[in-house]
Amino acid sequence: MKFCGKSDVGMHRQVNQDSYRALRLWNDEATLLVVCDGMGGHKAGEIASNTAVNIFCEKIAASPCTETEPNKILEFIRYTLVSAASEANASILRLADENEEYQGMGTTLVAVMIYGGYFYAINIGDSRFYIVTKEDTTLVTKDHSFVQYLIDNGKLSEEEAKECPRKNVITRAVGISDKLDVDFFSAPLEPWESGYLLLCSDGLSNYVDHKIMEEILFAPSHWFVSQEDDLSRKADALIAFANEKGGSDNITAVLARF
């Protein structure tokens, strides 16, 4: 599986508080993709997101799967992803406790592992995971945000949500509380046949809708361009579109082709 990650400070921010990672692990049998969007004053958000990515990936890399039965693989990877997020949560809380300027910092976290033809994903906050094919775009994760709460309770429509002044208020984050509530998702990739996995911060999803994602990701590529270069160009194009539409926040995109 080929993958690529890109991040940009955007048009209005001075510091990029997003962090990401895309790597192979477990003897190249697994691929791990992660995006974190930090929050906090000064550079605290940057510290929170970077800490979360580092701790999360280190924990998972050190815990290879040795199970062979599908149900046991599922439970092992679920436990590994959630416990790695919990360790990241504890590390951020410790940093905030030891440094007054870091108090109140936190971060979103969305992560996807691809292993044995399945994806396994977790989400905390409003960073997102999409599966994009020529036929359709599927948002796998669900935002943990005040706006999503209003939508779920019928107080706001999807269209109204786009203009809501409180759409940046999230209801879950890593590093805010001892208790970490994590959503987990898993499914085989085979029904989608081929396409892209896209992980992104809300700096991208606030501007790039499903139709634009499909147009950018399935735009014709030159035959002489490698898959790596093609992914890099498409990640750049997604970020450029978000910047052209306003770029009010940091923008991060992690792409993988399956």
Domain extents for the chain? 2-257
pLDDT higher for 43 or 208? 208
Of 43-47, 117-121, 165-169, 192-196, the one with minimum mean pLDDT is: 165-169
pLDDT (0 to 100) of residue 83: 98
**Is pLDDT at 28 greater than 80 in this prediction?**
yes
| CATH no. of 2-257 | 3.60.40.10
**Is pLDDT at 222 greater than 80 in this prediction?**
no
Asked if 116 contacts 188 with a C-beta cutoff of 8 angstroms, the reply is no
Which phi and psi angles does 122 have, rounded to 5°? -130, 155
pLDDT (0 to 100) of residue 129: 99
- Express each pLDDT in 76-102 by its tens digit: 999 999 999 999 999 999 999 999 999
pLDDT (0 to 100) of residue 161: 75
**Is pLDDT at 175 greater than 90 in this prediction?**
yes
Percent of the chain clearing pLDDT 90 (strictly above): 88
pLDDT (0 to 100) of residue 119: 98
Distance from C-alpha of 135 to C-alpha of 200, rounded to nearest angstrom: 20
Beta-bridge mates of residue 34: 21, 111
Q: Residue 66: which pLDDT band, with cuts at 50, 70 and 90?
A: very high
Mean pLDDT of 152-173: 83
Q: Residue 213: which pLDDT band, with cuts at 50, 70 and 90?
A: very high
Of 108-117, 205-214, 223-232, the one with minimum mean pLDDT is: 223-232
pLDDT (0 to 100) of residue 134: 95
Mean per-residue pLDDT over the chain, rounded: 95
pLDDT (0 to 100) of residue 223: 75
The reported pTM is 0.95
**Is pLDDT at 225 greater than 90 in this prediction?**
no
